[in-house]
């Protein structure tokens, strides 16, 4: 395909970490996993924590076997009991940050309505709305820096809410604080309860529809 014809969406393959960098057609001793170790060992950083939260939710839903799609209109999806695609948006926040700070971070989650981007066509939709059916707000709630460990799922809290509630109560709002979120009465669950809660909320949406 020539440049004038465009370039299709890249088919991303899941890697193992054992892949090697190359030079002059020959593999080097440097492995991909070493890049991962260098770039993403700080799991508390805002960018990495957000991706980690998506992965945690993906494992809870049993959909972590592929690769992350960075530019989709929503983060994850599953099939409901009746086969409908349930689109899920994952948001994260934390009280503690990697850098030195004197007080806990204010907990806010992004809920901005967006225009959906289609990776197949590289075009944005005209409609501005929340693209997901369900939002899951992942809070790394641990407050002791010495024992902070994002891999410890007991240090997380998960709040799950149908997007319809956001659309009804705060349609144009771009962010939401924890106290305001709790007033909307989301499901507050542990890691092992995420799938059951999302399945329940999806079924409620289908019943209403």
Question: Using CA atoms, how far apart are residues 152 and 89, in angstroms rounded to an integer?
Answer: 22
Helices and strands, number each (H, E), in the chain: 5, 11
- pLDDT > 90: percent of the chain: 77
pLDDT of 3 reads: 56
What token pair was written down for 178? 């924890």
Question: Using CA atoms, how far apart are residues 31 and 115, in angstroms rounded to an integer?
Answer: 38
Mean pLDDT on 127-134: 91
Kindly report the average pLDDT of the chain as a whole number. Answer: 92
Higher per-residue pLDDT: 164 or 203: 164
Domain boundaries, the chain: 42-208
First to last CA, the chain: 44
Q: Residue ranges of the alpha helices (H) in the chain?
A: 32-40, 46-61, 163-169, 178-183, 194-208
**80 pLDDT tier (thresholds 50, 70, 90):** confident
Question: Using CA atoms, how far apart are residues 52 and 76, in angstroms rounded to an integer?
Answer: 13
What token pair was written down for 125? 């939709």
Mean pLDDT on 14-19: 96
């Amino acid at each position: 395909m020539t440049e004038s014809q465009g370039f299709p969406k890249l088919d991303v393959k899941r890697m193992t970490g054992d892949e090697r960098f190359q030079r002059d057609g020959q593999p080097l001793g440097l492995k991909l996993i070493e890049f991962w170790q260098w770039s993403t060992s700080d799991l508390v950083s805002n960018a990495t924590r957000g991706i980690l939260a998506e992965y945690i939710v993906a494992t809870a839903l049993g959909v972590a076997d592929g690769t992350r799609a960075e530019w989709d209109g929503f983060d994850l999806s599953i099939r409901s009991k009746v086969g409908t695609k349930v689109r899920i948006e994952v948001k994260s926040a934390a009280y503690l940050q990697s850098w030195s700070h004197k007080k806990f971070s204010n907990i806010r989650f992004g809920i901005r309505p967006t225009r959906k981007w289609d990776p197949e066509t590289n075009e944005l939709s005209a409609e501005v709305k929340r693209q997901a059916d369900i939002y899951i707000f992942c809070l790394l709630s641990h407050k002791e820096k010495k024992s902070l460990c994002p891999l410890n799922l007991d240090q997380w809290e998960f709040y799950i809410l149908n997007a319809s509630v956001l659309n009804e109560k705060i349609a144009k709002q771009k962010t939401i604080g924890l106290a305001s979120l709790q007033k909307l009465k989301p499901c507050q669950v542990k890691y092992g309860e995420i799938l059951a809660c999302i399945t329940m909320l999806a079924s409620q949406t289908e019943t209403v529809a």
